[in-house]
């Protein structure tokens, strides 16, 4: 048995194994258990899943060997670790690493905007350094089934050990607050045009949590939409990958994706770029939207005719 779901280090041994042993199985005899973290990036085309190194760590040596043999039939490179706990901790570290670094650039974005400095141009400049820097990009908030949630498994476990997880908690706070920042920019942009957010027609472009996928799990678009509706804005959305807004744990909107036309764009008081899908007709948006709030730094590549605010 090989587990791939993210968990805190020790879950396989502390929780899964006792459940299996209650059924009469014995580890190392008729039961072999390992953990192998999922490693994928939905929508990304420049990595063959078979070329991503596959970590495996078992609850005993035989479990590790069996899982390595199993996965080697599908993956070209295997990396065996000493225990399931190491494999579990590696997965948690990978997700926390992304969460913390995304929070860093999101915080930098807020600071640099106040100083009238473009964060995307700063990242481009910093990326010319051939060592000691990896580019992460800001956005409207975190989404997906991993990064917004998984780091808190370790936070919960660390609290049981009496250890504070300041980086994890702070990164989560910064990223969770990004929809509030986006809505504040929408409000500011509308006010700059002598328009109140109350009653304003606002179109969200993209509700998936990332580009070129149909996955809306934990999408920041849901919180942006809720905040806009709380301010009584008239909100609609367009997403070529998600025809109707899915029911979520904390959100439910009776909305369907509207057609992206010149007339629909021109009728909006504000168009908000939440997800930069390649399938969206960006030249059409650039030509007909009179006010754009861009959270992904995408519209500047298409010579927009209207006013553009970055958020």
Q: Which residue has the tokens 């009653």?
A: 199
Q: Which CATH number fits domain 89-174: 3.10.20.600, 3.90.1420.10, 1.10.645.10, 1.10.1040.10?
A: 1.10.1040.10
Q: Which tokens is 266 given? A: 């021109």
Q: How far apart are the first and last CA of the chain?
A: 46
- Of 197, 43, 167, 10, nearest to 102 by C-alpha is 167
Is-contact 233 200, C-beta < 8 A? yes
| CATH classification (class only), 178-310 | alpha beta
Q: What is the pLDDT of residues 130-168, one digit of tens each?
A: 999 999 999 999 999 889 989 999 999 999 999 999 999
- Res 296 pLDDT > 90: yes
Q: What is the pLDDT of residues 60-82, one digit of tens each?
A: 999 999 999 999 999 999 999 99
pLDDT class for 4, splitting at 50, 70, 90?
Answer: confident
Q: Which residues pair with 270 in a beta bridge?
A: 202
Range list for CATH 3.40.50.720 in the chain: 2-86, 178-310
Range list for CATH 1.10.1040.10 in the chain: 89-174
**Active-site residue identified among 146, 178, 189, 211:** 146
Residue 167 confidence (pLDDT): 94
146 annotated active-site = yes
The fold of the 2-86 domain, in CATH, is Rossmann fold (3.40.50)
Q: What is the pLDDT of residues 217-262, one digit of tens each?
A: 999 999 999 999 999 999 999 999 999 999 998 899 999 999 999 9
- Structure letter (DSSP) for residue 281: -
- Structure letter (DSSP) for residue 241: T
pLDDT class for 178, splitting at 50, 70, 90?
Answer: very high
CA distance 188 to 197: 9
pLDDT class for 42, splitting at 50, 70, 90?
Answer: confident
Residue 146 confidence (pLDDT): 87
Judge if pTM exceeds 0.85.
yes
């Amino acid at each position: 048995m090989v587990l791939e779901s993210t968990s805190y280090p020790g879950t396989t041994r502390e929780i899964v194994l006792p459940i299996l042993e209650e059924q009469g199985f014995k580890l190392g005899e008729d039961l072999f258990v390992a953990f192998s973290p999922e490693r994928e990036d939905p929508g990304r085309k420049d990595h063959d899943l078979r070329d991503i190194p596959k970590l495996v760590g078992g609850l005993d040596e035989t479990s590790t060997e069996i899982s390595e043999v199993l996965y080697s039939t599908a993956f070209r490179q295997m990396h065996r670790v000493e225990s399931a706990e190491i494999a579990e901790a590696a997965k948690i570290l990978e997700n926390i690493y992304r969460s913390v670094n995304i929070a860093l650039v999101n915080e930098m974005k807020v600071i640099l905007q106040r100083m009238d400095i473009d964060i995307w141009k700063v990242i481009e400049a910093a990326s010319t350094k051939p060592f000691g820097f990896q580019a992460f990009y800001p956005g409207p908030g975190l989404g997906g089934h991993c990064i917004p949630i998984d780091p808190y498994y370790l936070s919960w476990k660390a609290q049981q050990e009496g250890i504070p997880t300041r980086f994890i908690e702070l990164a989560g706070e910064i990223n969770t607050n990004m929809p509030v920042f986006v809505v504040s920019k929408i409000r500011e942009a509308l006010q700059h045009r002598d328009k109140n957010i109350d009653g304003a027609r606002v179109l969200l472009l993209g509700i998936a949590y990332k580009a070129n996928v149909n996955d809306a799990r934990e999408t920041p678009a849901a919180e942006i939409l809720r905040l806009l509706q709380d301010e009584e804005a008239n909100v609609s959305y367009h997403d070529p990958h998600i025809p109707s807004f899915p029911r979520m744990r904390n959100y439910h909107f009776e909305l369907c994706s509207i057609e992206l036309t010149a007339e629909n764009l021109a009728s909006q008081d504000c168009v908000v770029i939440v997800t930069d899908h390649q399938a969206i007709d960006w030249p059409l948006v650039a030509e007909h939207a009179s006010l754009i709030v861009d959270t992904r730094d995408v519209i500047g590549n298409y010579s927009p005719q209207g006013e553009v605010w970055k958020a």
